[in-house]
Amino acid sequence: MARQVIHHEYDAVIVGAGGAGLMAALEASKRCRVAVVSKLYPTRSHTGTAQGGIGAALGNLEPDSWEWHMFDTVKGGDYLPDQDAVEVMCREAIDVVYSLEHMGLPFNRTPEGKIDQRRFGGHTMELGKAPVRRACYAADRTGHMILQTLYQQCIKQGVAFFDEFHLTDVLVSGGRCAGVVALCLATGELHCFRAKAVLLATGGFGRMFKVTSNAHTLTGDGCSIVFRRGVPLEDMEFFQFHPTGIYKLGILVTEGARGEGGVLLNGKGERFMERYAPTMKDLAPRDMISRAIYREVQEGRGVDGKDYVHLDLTKLDPDVVERKLPDITDFVRTYLGVDPVKELVPVQPTAHYAMGGIPTNTNAQVVADAKNSVLTGLYAAGECACVSVHGGNRLGTNSLVDIVVFGRRGGRHIAESVGKMELPPLPSDALSRSHEEIGRLTSNLGGESAAAIRTELQQVMMDRVSVYREETGLKEALATISTLRSRYRKVEVEDRSLSYNTELQEALELGYLLDLAWATTVGALARTESRGAHSREDFPKRDDANWLKHSLAFATDGNIKLDYKPVSITRFQPKERIY
């Protein structure tokens, strides 16, 4: 069965229809012809699961300022964030939240009708004095509301949607991006999109770990595809574990639950966070709380000697829990048979968020080397990108800000740039990589299935490259990943049909996960310090003299070469991180 090829031309193609992609599409479509290519129906994107809130210093309930938000973000990220980018994000967060409100986003309200705000980990007033109410929210469905709001605006604006189209390649010719290739899942056709600008907004890759809050679709496709095309990946060793995943399942219980007053208890019923973070306690940043849970468990204070602790919401007003946290209450009742209003909820850290990704500048343009040289025509925004506003550890509510702020900036930059440009010529072999990759997977005979390799990958990443890391374990993980990569070359997709071949799609996704796990582990082995979410038992201290720098992983001839670039420090000099 030959795969048909269909050609399209647009000013801009946005890949991904989460918050970042839709915001970029909305902005760009004000001035040019835009297509959105998404492997999911847009409102199924992972942004729709974001629960707790979007941070912006509106100061609706108590004094707040974008400078405090900036300080918290820089400190939360263990001084690795680029401060010029953080400043842009925290300043523009305010305007972007109001513009979402004006588009119709149904935020929770204060009695006077202002946008309500709640507390979240690491967000403080007056540079660390006390927790502050900064997270704007729509119950525990904030991301869902962002997605619905932006999607309807895009429809109104006439954006062309190619839903259930899986990106297979990003085309680069004459040193600039010329378009993308995508597989139509319904028909098996390959579609070639020639475009003046391409913005990748393909989301994260938590699926490389066994226990994760991430949807099955979060396999880092965009990151891996451009990595194969020679674009480096930045700060891949920083992967966040969220402290409160539902035990064994990894499904997230939002930090908003602690923002509303929930507390963590160890097996002895103690509020252990008081010992690790005397001021912020249960609202310390996620990296610290995840490590604290691991320590409690290691020292025998897990619940019933097992590897979990309890989240206690029983002291809260049941009405607040039902009203402000309805979805997570429902999850806990459904998946655990536990009623969080009356009983303790078993939780453990769950792989949650990729701080690293495709390096960009503050206009979301991809920068392809340590000198920040722009790769013309290629943009990235949202979780797949690394601008870098989160550095070593992201604060809760800052991803939703990141995706809408930098999605909007990318969309605007595209709108301003493409008018002056001609459509770039397509490379002569535009379709060859996609044909070759799909052809190999569907013609291998007698190979194993993708599922077995994926399970082993997720296990080794969970065991060796998670909250705590050390040299021997990382080397073991690298050896396993290398074996799994060779086994992957022989994977056989038995289903040869063209329509909705999910076996083929999963095999492609496994290839991406293997690349990203490899880059993560290589970066983690090289970084001989502990900073943010990257915690080396053999190098427990932060080492600013040698490691206050971003890593860049390049794929070269079957190997990974690391390079480094400086951190932008404008207002806040690195200090010890005490909460």
Q: Is the peptide bond prior to 434 cis by the omega test (within 30 degrees of 0)?
A: no
How many Å apart are CA 522 and CA 487, to the nearest integer? Answer: 19
Query: Which residue number, 166 or 534, has a Cβ lying nearer to ligand FAD?
Result: 166
Between strands 358-359 and 385-386, the pairing is parallel
Q: Which residues pair with 169 in a beta bridge?
A: 181
CA-based nearest residue to 233, from 143, 356, 121, 150: 356
H helix or E strand, kind and range, residue 73: helix 66-76
Range in contact with ligand FAD (rule: CB under 6 A) among 309-317, 394-402, 465-473, 483-491: 394-402
Contacting residue, 13, 21, 360, 465, with ligand FAD by CB under 6 A: 21
| CA–CA distance, 460 with 342 (Å, rounded to integer) | 37
- Neighbouring C-alpha atoms within 13 Å toward the C-beta of 378: 30
403 close to 383: Cβ distance less than 8 angstroms: yes
Say how far apart CA 447 and CA 449 lie, in whole Å.
Answer: 7
Whether residue 550 contacts residue 228, with contact meaning beta carbons closer than 8 Å, is answered with no
Which single residue brings its beta carbon nearest to ligand FAD?
Answer: 18
Is residue 81 at the binding interface for ligand FAD, with CB under 6 A as the rule?
A: no
- 243 sits near ligand FAD (criterion: CB under 6 A): no
Q: By CB under 6 A, name the one of 139, 170, 201, 438 that touches ligand FAD.
A: 201
Name the minimum Å distance from CB 317 to ligand FAD.
21
Residue with tokens 């404008």: 570
286 part of the active site: yes
Q: Which is nearer to ligand FAD, 389 or 474 (CB)?
A: 389
**202 part of the interface to ligand FAD, by CB under 6 A:** yes
Contacting ligand FAD within 166-195 (CB under 6 A): 166-167
Q: Does 203 bind ligand FAD (CB under 6 A)?
A: yes
Q: Which amino acid is at 334?
A: T
Asked if 250 interacts with ligand FAD (CB under 6 A), we say no
Rounded CA-CA distance 126/118 in Å is 17
Smallest distance from ligand FAD to CB 297, Å: 23
Task: Examine residue 403 and tell whether it contacts ligand FAD (CB under 6 A).
Answer: yes
Q: Is 121 near ligand FAD (CB under 6 A)?
A: no
Burial 382-408 (b: 16+ CB within 10 A, else e): bbbbbbbbbbbbbbbbbbbbbbbbbbb
> What residue type is assigned to position 327 of the chain?
D
Of 12 and 20, CB closest to ligand FAD: 20
148 near ligand FAD (CB under 6 A): no
Of 20, 236, 325, 386, which lies in the binding site for ligand FAD, with binding defined by CB under 6 A? 20
Q: Which residue has the tokens 């056989």?
A: 492
In the bound state with ligand FAD, the residue whose beta carbon lies nearer, of 301 and 390, is 390
Point out the catalytic residue in the list 286, 301, 394, 542.
286
Cα–Cα distance, 481 to 454 (Å, whole number): 10
Instruction: For residue 153, state whether it binds ligand FAD (rule: CB under 6 A).
Output: no
Residue 297: C-alpha distances to residues 211, 255, 278, 471 (Å): 17, 20, 20, 22
Q: State the minimum distance, in angstroms, from the CB of residue 141 to ligand FAD.
A: 10
Determine the size of the site formed for ligand FAD (CB under 6 A).
44
- Contact between 16 and ligand FAD (CB under 6 A)? yes
Position 39 contacts ligand FAD (CB under 6 A): yes
- Which pair of tokens denotes residue 435? 């044909």
Task: Select from 11, 12, 13, 19 the one that contacts ligand FAD (CB under 6 A).
Answer: 19
Task: In angstroms, give the least distance from the CB of 165 to ligand FAD.
Answer: 6
Tell me the catalytic residues: 286
Residues forming the site for ligand FAD (CB under 6 A): 15-21, 37-40, 45-47, 49-54, 142-143, 165-167, 201-204, 213-214, 221, 252, 254, 353, 382-384, 396-400, 403
